[in-house]
Amino acid sequence: MLYNPLTCKLEQVVDLAHEDRVLVDALCSEDVTEVGAKRDIVRNGEVPDKVHLILEGWAARYTVLPDGSRQITAFLIPGDFCDLHVDILEKMDHAIGALTPCRVAHLDPEVLERITSERTALTKGLWRMTLIDSAVLREWIVNVGRRDAYEAVAHILCEMHLRMKAVGLVEDDTFSLPITQEELADATGMTAVHINRTLKRLRSEGLVEQHHREMTVLDVGGLREAGGFNDDYLHLRQSRRGRGHPA
Amino acid sequence: MLYNPLTCKLEQVVDLAHEDRVLVDALCSEDVTEVGAKRDIVRNGEVPDKVHLILEGWAARYTVLPDGSRQITAFLIPGDFCDLHVDILEKMDHAIGALTPCRVAHLDPEVLERITSERTALTKGLWRMTLIDSAVLREWIVNVGRRDAYEAVAHILCEMHLRMKAVGLVEDDTFSLPITQEELADATGMTAVHINRTLKRLRSEGLVEQHHREMTVLDVGGLREAGGFNDDYLHLRQSRRGRGHPA
């Protein structure tokens, strides 16, 4: 594969040997499907027999509450796993829905199992990816629980900017942000009206610019300040350079 | 060690060999300290040189926002790691505070590193523990974002009941719940007044009973219904029995 977002992500957390890269490429290209926007990639209650990995497009993890309200708990971008925890799962405890058309790789859990028994760096890389996902989840709890709409939206834009950059999908601080205001509202526990007002304010303050589904961060420092954003929790390798490589 | 809560937790997700158990016991008993209630076990911004594991007591992960409000993102009980992600960390992006006096094991990251390179089952166990932590974090986002106080408190009580049970710390549906109403408020993004009213309602409905810092769940089914609680996300082994052992 010319571009493998999973390789990008793994290389943020471990050094991969050429053989590891070949393995990851093979794993990701065996069984690939296209999923249309607004379709579920994995349904709630499903017992997935494959591990799903986003190769292209955006998706969301979400839970629907008994009263019908929806809470998004993560946005998934290229290189993100939908259900790496398949082997500890009885069945899915939430759903994954495609927000845009997605290209999804279906990985054979047995092959993944074999790889993780044999390739130490890969196993550590996958585990570290999981640890970083947990750090992101902790930030979302803070975002949903204690930040107002202005801070929460600025914070999420800072996060998506850096996460897209880490998989090579940002150019000149511009990236595709294919999510609706309803989806942003479901991610932050706010109303869509609130989100609309907030995005307007961020634009009028010259922090961001939006053209169709492209977001440009005009003032990275200003946006970070607006969101009270600190990128420590993303554990990006760039910011660790100079400290020597992790083991 | 007669009772090792980490072994309890690992055995929920993998089968351990006798040798694995001996390794875990050795790892957990090398360097143990006592931390007083209300003291930080790991400070925000700290660069921990050991991995901290709770052996006894309750602690909380928390973040303090610029306006001084605090958001708790997890309650930690015996068997929980404070900072397993130490090797991908530049520095802590949040703090861990003891809620009660805690006994904490300080694990040598190099020994942990050696073990995870050599013992496949242990490595998988640790990774699975991380995956389950992520599932818990997703539930907390839903709790904080979309549940009202009554549902959120019932939900958290159901969770703590089952998590304490998984490490062998529940007898007759009674367990130590040493957290204050302020701490419950900080965990759910509510006010302490709200939490107080909610606990009263749960008691008056005969769902729970509280004596000092002991919580008894009188009506497990009723409490689950009150919280819209489904234990899938905790991936407890008991509920997987009969499906055959995980690989």
Q: Is A196 on the interface with B (CB under 8 A)?
A: no
Set of chain A residues whose Cβ sits within 8 Å of the Cβ of B141: 71, 73, 137, 140-141, 144
Confidence of residue A240 (pLDDT cuts 50, 70, 90): very low
- Of these ranges, A62-66, A133-137, B47-51, B193-197, the one predicted with the greatest mean pLDDT is B193-197
Identical fold for domains B5-130 and B147-240, yes or no, is no
A90 pLDDT higher than 70: no
The 3-state DSSP class for residue A72 equals strand
CA gap A176, A5 in Å, rounded: 15
Across residues A27-41, what is the average pLDDT?
Answer: 89
Map out the domains of chain A as residue ranges.
5-119, 131-240
The bridge status of strand B59-64 relative to strand B95-98 is antiparallel
Set of chain A residues whose Cβ sits within 8 Å of the Cβ of B135: 85, 93
- Residues 85-104, chain A, touching B (beta carbon < 8 A): 85, 87-91, 93-94
Percent share of chain B, pLDDT over 70: 93
- Comparing CA positions, the residue from B89, B235, B127, B85 lying closest to residue A122 is B127
CA gap A17, A241 in Å, rounded: 19
The CATH number given to B147-240 is 1.10.10.10
The bridge status of strand B95-98 relative to strand B174-176 is unpaired
8 Å CB contact between B26 and B52: no
CA gap A177, A157 in Å, rounded: 9
- Comparing CA positions, the residue from A170, A124, A172, A139 lying closest to residue A11 is A124
B86 pLDDT higher than 70: no
A89 pLDDT higher than 80: no
Confidence of residue B247 (pLDDT cuts 50, 70, 90): very low
Residue A16: predicted pLDDT: 87
CA gap A230, A159 in Å, rounded: 9
Residue A50: predicted pLDDT: 85
Confidence of residue B225 (pLDDT cuts 50, 70, 90): very high
Model pLDDT for residues B122-138, shown as the tens digit of each residue? 877 887 888 888 888 98
The 3-state DSSP class for residue A34 equals strand
- Comparing CA positions, the residue from A116, A191, A101 lying closest to residue A148 is A191
Domain A131-240 is of which CATH architecture? Orthogonal Bundle (1.10)
Residue B161: predicted pLDDT: 95
Confidence of residue B67 (pLDDT cuts 50, 70, 90): confident
Residue A245: predicted pLDDT: 35
Q: Can you tell me the ipTM of this complex?
A: 0.78
Which residue in B has a C-alpha nearest to residue A226's C-alpha? B66
Q: Where in A67-171 does DSSP place strands (E)? A: 70-76, 95-98, 102-107
Model pLDDT for residues A166-183, shown as the tens digit of each residue? 888 999 999 999 888 998
Helices A181-188 and A192-204: crossing angle in degrees, nearest 10, is: 110
> Would you identify the CATH topology of the domain A5-119?
Jelly Rolls (2.60.120)
| Whole-number Cα distances in Å, B155 to A168, A229, B95, B162 | 39, 29, 24, 11
Confidence of residue B87 (pLDDT cuts 50, 70, 90): low
The bridge status of strand B174-176 relative to strand B102-107 is unpaired
Instruction: State both tokens at B157.
Output: 């009580």
Q: Is B210 on the interface with A (CB under 8 A)?
A: no
Confidence of residue B46 (pLDDT cuts 50, 70, 90): confident
Confidence of residue A96 (pLDDT cuts 50, 70, 90): confident
Q: How high does pLDDT run on average in chain B?
A: 86
For residue A59, the surrounding DSSP H or E stretch is: strand A59-64
Residue B30: predicted pLDDT: 84
8 Å CB contact between B220 and B160: no
Residue B88: predicted pLDDT: 60
Could you confirm whether domain B5-130 is CATH 2.60.120.10? yes
Across residues B40-60, what is the average pLDDT?
Answer: 89
- Residue A68: how many CB atoms within 10 A of its CB? 6
B97 pLDDT higher than 70: yes
CA gap B24, B35 in Å, rounded: 22
A238 pLDDT higher than 60: no
